[in-house]
Amino acid sequence: MTILISSRLGETRQGQAVTLRPRKSFSVAMLLLLLSGCGPVPQPAASPSAQTAAATPAASAATTDPHTMKQNNHAALSWQSKVFGQLPDGREVTLVTLKNNHGVELDVINYGGIITRLITPDATGKPGDIVLGYDNLSQYLDNNPYFGAIIGRFGNRIAKGQFAIDGKSYQLATNDGDNHLHGGVQGFDKKLWQMQPFQQADSVGVELSYLSPDGEEGYPGNLQVKVIYTLTNNNELQMQFQATTDQTTPVNLTQHSYFNLAGAGSILEHQLEIPAAQITPVGAGLIPTGELQAVAGTPFDFRTAKAIGRDIEVEDAQLKLGLGYDHNFVLKATVDDSLVLAGRVLEPTSGRVLEVWTDEPAVQFYSGNFLDGSLTGKGVQYGHRSGFCLEPQHYPDTPNQSTFPSTLLKPGETYSAQIVYRFSTKS
Ligand code: BGC
């Protein structure tokens, strides 16, 4: 498979016309999902974007300010880019804003591929930001608990940062006690990605690329990674993850947005459904024991929607270890590319609904247990359990668990994973 390398950062701001190129076709399941559409998301009353919603999406006449901003057109379906900040070594970080025709809007920066802002209308049409994040780059550099970021090479934990492939042992960086978490000290969440915006008839997006060199954080092989975020007029954010390698290496990519569908406050009243019959229970350090545990009769049974907070304080050994929910829910018995629901969340006061779909075999549900009020962003203090994550992925510590579906990527193979956030409302 060809990995497209996007143009350099500087070029993004030099007023080139947008390249409209066909995207890789999605699976049949993805197509059905797209065709089925989702519940109507009302357009924000009298907002500027609502007024321009009928404009032609593919119009390519660009209005360009070469110094600060580039934009492709004035239609609601559009992208714009601007400088977000500078890394300490002088490299520039870019922010791209994507908008669809129905008032869904998101900002993404090429540092960590972080989604810094995600606007969706509530049931009355009022727009609101539903992700946790910061106002500026220095906050992301100082202390980011993975808000909005791409996670890699390996989402979740690898015990003691160790594993062996074909008899050869590897030692990864450890950054979570003795263990390796989310790619290590300088994971993909802290890398500057190349980023290229694009527009198609019914969607806009960005293509992010990063070459992770052999030995980075202790991993073998040069890993070429591509992540495509596509915002559609069906109110979906589709994310495609792809990678190729020149040496066998574990790969387990995911997206780490923290959501609060009310915009602020506790997430304990959000109603959550996860159609999973089992979790991978953990021991000390949140490392899986290797078993599968049925959710029936436990606080982990979200097969029928319930408030996140309903059972979170129940006396339960797994909840104690996670300080709440911080567990991997099994979505599929076999690994294939069919899209399945990983979670559906309804926030009752706003009426916002988020669905997460994926072809991954599991989803980590994290109830924001380590948020403690010490971080503030976008005018909101992030208190205990004020955000939740649904991170589709393979099971944690798979490189050390022979019974878990493999996460090894070999030369000549292409890693591929999909995650879709689907936005709607319910009154
Ligand atoms: C992990 C948590 C961790 C959080 C933020 C989640 O994916 O499961 O244990 O604290 O990320 O780092």
Residues 375-391 have pLDDT tens digits of: 999 999 999 999 999 99
Residue of minimum CA distance from atom 9 in ligand 1: 326
- Answer whether residue 44 shows pLDDT above 60: no
What would you report as the CA-atom Rg of the chain, rounded to the nearest whole angstrom? 21
When pLDDT is cut at 50, 70 and 90, the band that residue 33 belongs to is very low
Distance 331 CA to ligand 1 centre (A): 19
pLDDT tens for each residue of 59-117: 333 333 333 345 444 459 999 999 999 999 999 999 999 999 999 999 999 999 999 99
Residue 414 pLDDT > 50, yes or no?
yes
Atom of ligand 1 nearest to the CA of 391: 7
Does 130 have pLDDT greater than 90?
yes
- Strand blocks (E) in 300-351: 306-307, 326-330, 340-346
- Select which of 256, 270, 327, 394 is catalytic: 256
Residue 150 has what pLDDT? 99
Q: What is the CATH number of domain 22-51+79-425?
A: 2.70.98.10
Among 249, 267, 266, CA closest to 390 = 267
Whole-angstrom Cα distance, residue 91 to residue 281? 42
**Tell me, what amino acid is at 298?**
T
CA of 176 to the centre of ligand 1 (A): 10
Sequential DSSP letters for 173-232: ---BTTBEETTSTT-GGGSBPEEEEEEETTEEEEEEEEEE-TTGGG--S-EEEEEEEEEE
Hey, what are 95's tokens? 């922010």
Which pTM was predicted? 0.85
Instruction: Name the residue with the closest Cα to ligand 1, atom 6.
Output: 366
366 lines ligand 1 (CB under 6 A): yes
Q: Which two tokens stand for residue 297?
A: 């009769």
Which one of 105, 216, 236, 391 is the catalytic residue? Answer: 391
Minimum CA distance residue for ligand 1 atom 8 = 326
Say if residues 27 and 359 touch (Cβ distance below 8 Å): yes
In this predicted structure, what is the pLDDT of residue 23?
34
- Ligand 1 near 370 CB (within 6 A): yes
φ and ψ of 365, to 5 deg: -100, 120
Indicate whether residue 329 lines ligand 1 (CB < 6 A): no
For residue 107 and ligand 1, the question of a CB distance below 6 A is answered with: no
Q: Indicate if the pLDDT at residue 409 is higher than 70.
A: yes
Q: Which residue has the tokens 């290590």?
A: 184
Res. 399: pLDDT tops 60: yes
**326 within ligand 1 shell (Cβ under 6 A):** yes
**pLDDT at position 11:** 32
- Burial class for 317, CB neighbours closer than 10 Å (0-12, 13-18, 19+): exposed
Tokens read off for 119: 């606007």
Ligand 1 centroid–CA 324 distance in Å is: 11
Residue 391 a catalytic site member:
yes
Query: How many angstroms separate the alpha carbon of residue 256 from the centre of ligand 1?
Result: 9
Q: What are residue 365's DSSP bridge partners?
A: 327, 390
Residue 11 annotated as catalytic: no
Triad 370, 372, 373: Cα angle to 5° = 145
Distance 282 CA to ligand 1 centre (A): 14
| Number of other CB atoms surrounding residue 46 within 10 Å | 8
pLDDT tens digits, one per residue of 238-290: 999 999 999 999 999 999 999 999 999 999 999 999 999 999 999 999 999 99
Contacts of 59-62 with C-beta under 8 Å, sequence gap 24+, read 60/17, 60/18, 60/20, 62/15, 62/17, 62/18
Q: What distance in angstroms lies between residue 50's CA and the mean position of ligand 1's atoms?
A: 37
CA of 132 to the centre of ligand 1 (A): 14
How sure is the predictor about 118, in pLDDT bands with cuts at 50, 70 and 90?
very high
pLDDT at 178 over 70: yes
Greater model confidence, 138 or 3: 138
Pick from 114, 154, 176, 181 the residue to mutate for probing ligand 1's pocket: most ligand atoms within 8 Å of its CB: 181
The pLDDT of residue 45 is above 90: no
Q: What is the pLDDT of residue 36?
A: 38
288 vs 24, higher pLDDT = 288
Q: Residue 255's closest CA among 135, 337, 326, 156?
A: 156
Cβ of 364 closer than 6 Å to ligand 1, yes or no, is yes
Average pLDDT over residues 130-143: 98
- pLDDT at residue 333, as a whole number: 87
Q: Is the model's pLDDT at 48 over the cut of 80?
A: no
pLDDT tens column, 327-366: 999 999 889 999 999 999 999 999 999 999 999 999 999 9
**Closest residue by CA, ligand 1 atom 10:** 370
Q: How far apart are CA 295 and CA 276, in angstroms?
A: 8
Mean per-residue pLDDT, 136-145: 98
67-97 in b/e burial notation, b at 16+ Cβ within 10 A?
Answer: eeebbbbebbbbbbbbbbbeeeeeebbbbbb
Average pLDDT, the chain: 87
**Distance between CA atoms of residues 295 and 312, nearest Å:** 14
pLDDT at 427: 87
Q: In whole angstroms, what is the distance from residue 20 CA to residue 48 CA?
A: 25
Give the confidence band of 237 by pLDDT, cuts at 50, 70, 90.
very high
Residue 58 or residue 274, greater confidence:
274
DSSP character at residue 160:
G
Q: For 303-328, how does the pLDDT look when each residue is reduced to its tens digit (9 = 90+)?
A: 999 999 999 999 999 999 999 999 99
> What CA–CA distance (Å, rounded) separates 221 from 131?
34
Structure tokens at 323: 């300080």
Q: Which atom of ligand 1 is nearest to the CA of 326?
A: 8
Check: CB of residue 425 under 8 Å from CB of residue 358: no
Q: What is the pLDDT of residue 108?
A: 98
